Chains A and B, each alone.
Chain A
Amino acid sequence: MEIPVMVGAGLIVIGAGIGLGKIGGSAMDAIARQPEATGKIQTAMIIIAALLEGIAFAALFAV
């Protein structure tokens, strides 16, 4: 693997990590505010996380 490709893969992982962190953090905030809506928040969180993951994987395969 060449160095630019490695750097690109690293950047993708950093981006995906930031995105997942934001989703998880916001979900935690939301659950703390409204613990009774935990189930709905978790479902929405997983859907968004899965979509983000799909993009990250697509980019990794493009690399």
Chain B
Amino acid sequence: MSIWRYANPAEFMRVSGAALPWVAGGAIAAMALGLIWSLLFTPADYQQGQTVKILFIHVPAAIQAINGYLVMVVASLIGLIRRHHVSFLVAKAAAPIGAGFTLLGLFTGAVWGEPMWGTWWVWDARLTSFLILFFFYLGYMALWAAIDDPEKAADLSAVLCLIGGVFAMLSRYAVQFWATLHQGTSISLSGNQKLTDEFFYPLMVMLIAFLLTFVALLLLRVRTEIRLRRARAIRLANSEG
């Protein structure tokens, strides 16, 4: 069975309708567990003190902000190449969620940086590329909203999204390319993690919680976009008939 069948709005609505309650339930459960664990049951770090608790929000928000943009890039690319409208709607629906997580990453980074670095903000490569990523999110949403014709809006905003993808990748890998005030990666898929278990496990729970929250909100918003598109088609048909 081809993956492209999900590009059919009816098929997407059927599958996402069945998946959404499970994903949303998982997100709520993981978020509740992660918040209680990270706030109440993790010790103060020997260097950072209690401010380490900010990182249980900051790290998942920042990772999901970048991953959210990469979801938009892939969806936009598929939309441009294969002309699947659901792909454009996935990118459109992901933007406000990603922008929210980016803002959260910026804010939590600032309130953590003030006591730890002695400054709310520095213009280093990681922070600057992350701020530019936030502006791309805003620009993408503004472009969709500014163009009345949805086909044209989808195409132009997809192109803008692809350009912004450079900053998403830059933001992801800036700490490896340049010497930045922002520290390097503490966790990785290869298992080369620099955290002790008492911080690592609650952080993993929060990463899963943010991922599930992103997916749940994305499914909900794509379903809304599909319904709005259908409503628009009916209104158009009525006005022509």
- Chains A and B belong together in one complex: no
